[in-house]
Chain A
Amino acid sequence: MSSVRSRDVAAVAPSFLVWTGFFFAPILYLFVVSFWSVRQYKLVTDASFDNYLLAAGEYRHAIVFTLALAALVGVVTTVFAFAMAYMIRFYAGRFGNVLLFIALTTLFGGYLVKIYAWKGLLGSTGIINQALLAAGLISEPISWLLYSPFAVVITLVHFLLPYALLPINAALRGVDDAPIEAARDLGAPPSRILIDVILPQCERGILTAFALAFFVSAGDYVTPQLVGGTDTFMIGNFIQSQFVNRMNAPVGAALAFATLLMTLLVVALLSLLYRRILKACAT
C-alpha cells in the first residue's frame, strides 16, 4: 500500500508547492512584516505592535466605517439573494433556470466592467438621472447617486449578488417539500413556515452568502475608489495607499490583518447568533 500512497502524495505535491510558494509563504511573510517598521523607505526588522496600535487608533474610524458598510452590503445582498432563491424555489418554474443561468454566467466575468457600468448609470448625466428628469420626477439631477456610500453599496450588491445566490439556492433546494406541506397542513402562515421550517434549514447557505459578500466588500478598494468619491474611503483604500503611495508595507499589512481579524470575528459572532435571532423572530 505504501507505494500507492507515495504516488498519491506525488500527485498532490505540485499544487501544494505552488500554494506554499505563492500563497502560504507570502501571507506568512506579510504577517511578519506587519510587526516591522519603515525607515527611509527601507523595511526595518522590528517586533512591535505599533502598527496594530495605529490600526486601533488612527484608523479605527476607517475600520469601523468599512465594517459597517460591508455589513450593510452583506445584509442587503443576502436578503436580496434569499428573495431570489425563494422565488426560484417556490414560484419560478422554468424562469428560475434562466435566473440561475444569468447569475452563473456573470459570476466570474467583468469585475471592472460592472463597476464602471454603474459609474455611467449613476452619474449626474447618467441614465438614471436622465430617466428621472425625463419622467418629470425630479427637476435637477440627484447628485448623491454617484460618488457616495450609496453608489458603493449598489455596485457591490450587484457584483456580489450571484455569489450569494448560489449557496442560498443550493440550501433552499435541499429543503424538502414534505415538512413545508406539513407546516401548512398544521395551519402555519407563510411567514411562520419561513421562520420555523425554511430558515433553520438554510443556515449554512445563508451564512456562506453573507460571509462571502461581507469579506469581499470589506477588502475591496476598487469600488470605493471608482464610485465612492472622497467621502467613501474604505480601509482597502488606506491599505492600498500605504503600500503604493507611502511605501509603508508594515502599516498596510497591519491594517489588512486587523481588518481580516475583525471580519472573521463578525462572521463567527453571526454564526453563533443565527439560531437565537431566528428564535427571537419566532416569538
Chain B
Amino acid sequence: MTLRAACWLTFGILSAAFLVAPLALVVAFSFGENPHATLPFGNPTLQWYRELFAGDDFLAALQNSAIVTSCVGLLSAVLGTAAAFGFTALDRKLSRLGAQLISLPVMLPPLVLALALATAFSATRIPLGLGTVIPSHLIFTQPFVILIIYARLTAFDRSLIDSARDLGASSLQIFFTITLPLIAPSLIGATLLSMAISLDDFVITFFTIGGGMTLPTLIWGMLRTHLDPTINALGTLVLVLTLGLSVIAFKLTRYKG
C-alpha cells in the first residue's frame, strides 16, 4: 500500500468513527450505571430501560408513535404505489413534472412546512391530534415510495408482461402473479423507509399533534426539562427502530448508495 492510500484509508476510518461514535455513545450510556453522559459508563445495567418502560408518558408516546407510523406506512404504500403506476403509464414529461411537484415537501425546511400546516389547521379550525399528524407526515413520506416504486417499474422488463399476456393472463392476473411479486421487495422496502422517516420526525409532529406526544416529542420534552438519564434508553430505542427499518428497507430495495 502506498503512503497516499494509507492516508486515505485512515481518513475513511476516522470519518466512519465520526458518523457512528456519537450514536454508539448514546447506546453505551443507556446500558451504563453512570447517569451522566460522562466516562466511565459504570457497570452494565438495564435500570434506565426499566424506568423508561414504567413511565406513563413513554407508554402513551409509544402508542401514538405506533399508530402514526403504521398508518403513515400503510397509506404511503397504497397512495405511493398507485401514483407510481400512474406515472409510469402517463406521458414522460408530465410524470417528471408530477414527480418533481410531489417531491417538493422533501426539499422544504421542515419548520416552514410545520408552520404552514399549523397555521392552516388553526385557520380551518381542524382540531390537532393524530388525525392531523398522519396526513402531514404523508406528504413527505409518499415521495420516497413513489420514487422507489417508479424506479422499479421503469426498470421492469416489459417482456415479462408480454410473456404473461401471450400465455393468456388477464391484466388482473398479470398484476397479482407477475408484477406484484416482482415489485414486492421494493414495495416493502419503500414502506419501511416511510415508516422510519415518520417515526423519526420531530418538527412536523411537534406542530401538528396538539397535546399528545410521540417518541421524538417525548425526547424533546426530556431535553427541555431536566437531564433525565432514561433519555439514553429512549434515544437508543428510537435509533434501533428507525435504523433497523432503514437497514431492512435498503436491503430489500437493494439500494447501495
Contact surface of A with B, Cβ cutoff 8 Å: 4-5, 7-12, 14-16, 18-19, 21-23, 25-27, 29-30, 33, 43, 80, 83-84, 86-88, 90-92, 95-114, 116-121, 123, 125-127, 130, 158, 161-162, 165-166, 169-170, 215-216, 218-222, 226, 236, 239-240, 243, 249, 252-253, 256, 260
Contact = CB atoms under 8 A, between A and B. Distances in A.
Interface residues of B, number: 79
A138 B149 CA distance: 54
A202 B83 CA distance: 31
* Closest A-B pairs by Cβ, 9 of them: A219-B109, A109-B242, A120-B37, A11-B86, A12-B86, A117-B22, A26-B120, A15-B83, A26-B116
A99 B11 CA distance: 11
Contacts of B26: 113, 116-117, 120
Contact of A104 (B111, B238, B250): B250
A27 B116 contact: yes
B104 interface: yes
B160 interface: no
A28 to B, nearest CB: 9
Contact of A110 (B86, B117, B243): B243
Contacts of A43: 123
A243 B23 contact: no
Contact of A100 (B5, B101, B203, B256): B256
Contacts of B15: 80, 83-84, 99, 161
Interface stretch (B52-60, B61-69, B134-142, B173-181): B134-142
Interface string B18-51: 1110110110010000001111000000000000
B90 A12 contact: yes
A29 B116 CA distance: 7
Interface string B126-162: 0000000001101100100010000000000000000
A84 B153 CA distance: 32
A84 B14 CA distance: 10
A86 B5 CA distance: 12
A105 B87 contact: no
Nearest to B132: A22
B115 A30 contact: yes
A121 B120 CA distance: 39
Given A15-B102, A29-B116, A110-B238, A84 B12 contact: yes
Interface in B75-127: 78-80, 82-83, 85-87, 89-90, 98, 101-102, 104-105, 107-113, 115-120, 123
B238 A113 contact: yes
Contacts of B138: 18, 22
22 contacts: A10-B86, A14-B79, A18-B142, A19-B105, A22-B117, A29-B120, A80-B15, A84-B12, A92-B12, A103-B257, A105-B243, A109-B196, A113-B239, A116-B223, A119-B223, A120-B29, A121-B25, A127-B25, A161-B18, A219-B111, A240-B115, A253-B115
Contact of A117 (B23, B107, B242, B250): B23
A127 B37 contact: yes
Contacts, number: 245
A113 B235 contact: yes
B73 interface: no
Contacts of A249: 115, 119
Contact of A4 (B12, B89, B220, B239): B89
Given A87-B11, A108-B242, A161-B19, A19 B101 contact: yes
B247 interface: yes
B74 to A, nearest CB: 13
Interface in B160-212: 193, 196-197, 200-203
Nearest to B240: A109
A52 B223 CA distance: 33
A108 B112 contact: no
Contacts of A169: 257
Nearest to B256: A100
Nearest to A114: B22
A91 to B, nearest CB: 4
B120 A112 contact: no
Contacts of B119: 26, 29-30, 33, 243, 249, 253
Contacts of B79: 14-15, 18
B257 A222 contact: no
A229 to B, nearest CB: 14
Nearest to B2: A91
Interface in B200-256: 200-203, 216, 219-220, 223, 231, 235, 238-239, 241-243, 245-247, 250, 255-256
A245 to B, nearest CB: 13
Given A105-B246, A125-B36, A112 B109 contact: no
